[in-house]
Amino acid sequence: MTLAVALQKRLGAFTLDVDFTAGSGVTIVFGESGSGKTTLLRCVAGIARPEAGRIALGDRVLLDTRRGVDVVPARRRIGFVFQQLALFPHLTAAGNIGYGIAHLSAAERHDRILAVAGSFRIDHVLDRRPAGLSGGERQRVGLARSLVTDPEILLLDEPLSALDAHTKTTVRAELQELLHGLELPVLLVTHDFEDAAALAGQVSVLVDGKLRQSGSPAELVARPADGFVASFTGANLLHGHADGSTRVRLADGTVLAVAEPASGDVVLAVYPWDVTVGVEPPHDSALNVVAGPIRTISELGNRVRVTIGPVSAEITAESLRRLGLRTGQPAFAAFKATGTRVVAVPHSGTVS
């Protein structure tokens, strides 16, 4: 089953203008707040109507503004998991799951609820209300409620954004397992690239209402279309000037080597996991080096983010302990010249 979308939707001065297809599996629409992600889902679901466009699910046309086709939301066979899950607080988990199949007989409704609850491993919490569920259990109830109606496609709007960091890590792993077990297209929007990288086979970056780049998470990291995409994928962005050679001079006078000759004002992308940190300058000529005091040290689970000048490195907690690093200490960030990517200056959006 393939979802094909081509539409234009105006919201004041903003216009969503996209054209893409999504096959079976998880497709991420990734972008910052205000880029049009939720509006896209609402148009696909039929909650919002674009001024022009066509939406088809396989051979079934859901919207065609030129032909006057506009299938009502209830008949589109689309499951929609909202950002805050929108569970009814006064209903039990079973009541929430069965809300969309109230037209069925009591026996059939009961059987469907038990079946989907069993597949999501929440059959033991069916008598609890949302307040008595964990974050992961609420997520599973929201998914079960959307899938009990037997949809042909599943839409998820920022499904992890309301969770704290610890819960999010656990629920992300659960969601990855659940989504990859489904045999239907899943369209999930997020502004968090870590979520995108963990959940998706395909990622489309949405910027100012238009798709900037599509590909696997690995492809976006390896070949970001511009500095805006690179920043979303977690890269350090270094602004400098190139004279036509493979040397780029940063504003503070630091000279870095890049793999290909470049000219004019450029943006370099360097990923934190490609950066090493030391208290002594490295002597390897193949390495770029940025020197300065350590600005910040942030723990991220068993990893630590260390920022030196304009560069952040991601190292292990053991390396932090072994090196005895502390804020304000002079240190060196080193990274391979071959891994220092020259990326296009974005034609819209902002890059800091």
Q: Could you say which of 3.40.50.1950, 2.40.50.100, 3.30.70.20, 2.40.128.20 is the CATH number of the domain covering 237-343?
A: 2.40.50.100
Q: Are strands 78-81 and 153-157 parallel, antiparallel or unpaired?
A: parallel
93-146 pLDDT, tens digit per residue, is: 999 999 888 888 999 989 989 988 888 888 899 999 999 988 888 888 888 888
Contact 288, 277 (CB under 8 A): no
Q: Are strands 255-257 and 52-57 parallel, antiparallel or unpaired?
A: unpaired
Q: Give domain limits for the chain.
A: 3-228, 237-343
Rounded to an integer, what distance in angstroms lies between the CA atom of residue 194 and that of residue 300?
Answer: 13
pTM higher than the cut 0.85: no
Q: Same topology for domains 3-228 and 237-343, yes or no?
A: no
289-326 pLDDT, tens digit per residue, is: 999 999 999 987 778 999 999 999 999 999 999 999 99
Tally: H helices and E strands in the chain = 9, 21
Rounded to an integer, what distance in angstroms lies between the CA atom of residue 173 and that of residue 97?
Answer: 22
Contact 153, 182 (CB under 8 A): no
The CATH code for residues 3-228 is 3.40.50.300
